[in-house]
Amino acid sequence: MPTFAAIDIGSNSCRLAIASVQQHRLKTLVEDREVTRLGESVFETGVISPEAMANTIKALKRFQKEVQAQVVDKVRVVATSAVREARNSEAFRAWVKSATGWTVEVISGLEEGRLIHLGVATHEPGAQGRCLLIDLGGGSCEVTVSDHGRIQQMVSLPLGAVRLQSEFLRVDPPGKEDIARLRKFIDRELGRAQRKLGQPKVGLVIATSGTAAAVAEASNSLEMGLEKRRNARAVIGKSAARKTAVKRIKILAAETGAVRKLADRLLKLNNEQRAAVAGIGPRRSEIISGGAQVFASLLERMHLKGFRYSRLGLRDGVLAQMLADADVRTSAHRTMEAERWEGVLEVCRRYGVDPRKVEPEREHSVQLFDQLQAVHQLPPEYRLWLQAAAMMQEVGKYMNHQGHNRHTQYIIAHSEIFGFSPVQRAIVAAIARYMGKSRPEPMERPMRYVPVEEHAHVERAVVLLRLAEALNQDRATAAVRVRTRVYPKRVVLELIPARGGAELEQWSLKKEAPYFREVFQRELLIEVA
């Protein structure tokens, strides 16, 4: 069975998770983490410092040894807020490529939230109901409202722990003016979130990330009496690290009142005093203050009773996505497909495309893909890419009917579509782009963002979508039905006319016959039943 590795290059730390697929489920083999503070210099100067780069590369090389030891079949490396914002992110990605051979995929805040949600919804007990997810990382904070494993609303806020420490809490302990600025900034960003999320009615609040674990443990420890605290330490173990302690506690949760008390107390302590608080430790103490304020303010503002900590995170979502892509029988695959399709429909709605009007073209594209597999020999994932392009190919008309195919390509490539990576969006955008007279050329701008090895696949998909478009010329009548027959040197499309005949569709399909012959080396014949 295949083995996957997911690497999360975060603003505060790098994380590795390796898992094997066993009976359509993931079994974790290795987990590792190293604090690198990649975002610390980014949030101060706008660039990743050479020291932070070197520390991260060192961690990644160590991860690479573990990946090689486990004989991993596929590795996916994602980077978040710090690399998104750094002016020298290209140099950092090139260094990673040179040192490890890995390509770093920079994901957006919303895609980060989607992947975290996928990991939590797949594995966390209770996350299948209506719940709120909070992931407070080093550079950003993603807040997601989920209902039965489906994302309802999501916001990504610049409220990461490292970012807040760098921008507002440079003096230790901070002064009153710095604290006031911090609280004002948090309040402004949470107000933006509330305008989108409202007052979510949820039965469970789940928080992920190391900051959430530290806040939960520390707020609980402060609520205990001295004797209770001593007993708790005896159970967990005096010399155990906080990470080990978290694993031993079945449910780690915190109430809103306790989180507020902790957050306000931390602002009065210096770093050494914060490190001495049970559950925080020396590394987390450097960045905990701002993160604790975010948790306290968010819980209060949305009238939430508290949160439950989950050790799941971005890496788990990446692994779940890799499993879903490889095994269609998993629940993660069904969740991912639903999210992707909802993302496509959202783009259609946003740019005034009625999904019902383009549905016949989508159906024809699927039919042609399925019945002409021996001809096009496209990878299975192109079935979805083709459908997505069919649904969204008219979004460019929102900008201008003239030359709308160019606008369509730009909109798809630069839109946030859940479940589609930048490369996948580039592929869908390129398929939708070439519905006019032009054809895909390697040096044209739309094709530059498509990997070279996918160019031939895109061209074949373009031909199929052109045929589907040709089959839907007269939308005032019912769609024409089609039957296909495949021979060694020719393909026959037999049209079954609906009301109004099929003359226009026949003419349109014949226009595509030369391009079909050029790409597939077969004649395309059109017959009318």
What is the CATH number for 21?
Answer: 3.30.420.40
The values of phi and psi at residue 444, to 5°, are -70, 150
Q: Are 336 and 471 in the same domain?
A: yes
Q: Are 306 and 343 in the same domain?
A: no
Find the range with the poorest average confidence among 146-155, 213-222, 334-343, 490-499. 334-343
Q: Are 375 and 276 in the same domain?
A: no
pLDDT at 240 over 70: no
Q: How many domains does the chain have?
A: 3
Q: What range defines the domain where residue 378 resides?
A: 328-528
Cβ-Cβ contacts under 8 Å for 257 (sequence gap 6 or more) = none
Share of the chain above pLDDT 70, in %: 94
316 lies in a domain? no
In this predicted model, what pLDDT tens digit does every residue of 418-469 receive, in sequence order? 888 888 999 999 999 998 788 898 888 889 889 999 999 999 999 999 999 9
Q: Are 300 and 390 in the same domain?
A: no
In this predicted model, what pLDDT tens digit does every residue of 38-70 receive, in sequence order? 998 998 899 999 999 999 999 999 999 999 999
Q: What is the pLDDT of residue 170?
A: 86
Q: What is the pLDDT of residue 229?
A: 44
Q: What is the pLDDT of residue 449?
A: 87
137 lies in a domain? yes
pLDDT at 14 over 80: yes
Q: Are 528 and 506 in contact (CB under 8 A)?
A: yes
Q: What is the mean pLDDT of residues 4-16?
A: 95
Q: Are 432 and 519 in the same domain?
A: yes
318 lies in a domain? no
The values of phi and psi at residue 499, to 5°, are -60, 130
Q: Are 110 and 416 in contact (CB under 8 A)?
A: yes
Residue 205 Cα to chain centre, angstroms: 20
Q: What is the pLDDT of residue 231?
A: 52
In this predicted model, what pLDDT tens digit does every residue of 365-385 receive, in sequence order? 999 999 999 999 999 999 999
29 lies in a domain? yes
251 lies in a domain? yes
CATH of the domain at 360: 1.10.3210.10
Q: What is the pLDDT of residue 476?
A: 55
Q: Are 131 and 102 in the same domain?
A: no
Q: What is the pLDDT of residue 263?
A: 95
pLDDT at 247 over 70: no
Q: What is the pLDDT of residue 236?
A: 39
Q: Are 169 and 206 in the same domain?
A: yes
Confidence (pTM): 0.79
In this predicted model, what pLDDT tens digit does every residue of 341-370 receive, in sequence order? 988 999 999 999 999 999 999 999 999 999
Torsion sign across C-alpha atoms 85, 90, 91, 95? positive
In this predicted model, what pLDDT tens digit does every residue of 299-335 receive, in sequence order? 999 999 999 999 999 999 999 989 988 877 777 777 7
Place of tokens 């839907």: 472
Q: What angle do CA 509, 446, 454 make, to 5 degrees?
A: 75
Give Cα separations from 272 to 173, 275, 286 (angstroms).
Answer: 10, 5, 9
450 lies in a domain? yes
Q: Are 103 and 129 in the same domain?
A: no
Q: Are 437 and 343 in the same domain?
A: yes
Q: Are 241 and 377 in the same domain?
A: no
161 lies in a domain? yes
CATH of the domain at 227: 3.30.420.150
Pick from 131, 114, 186: nearest CA to 157: 186
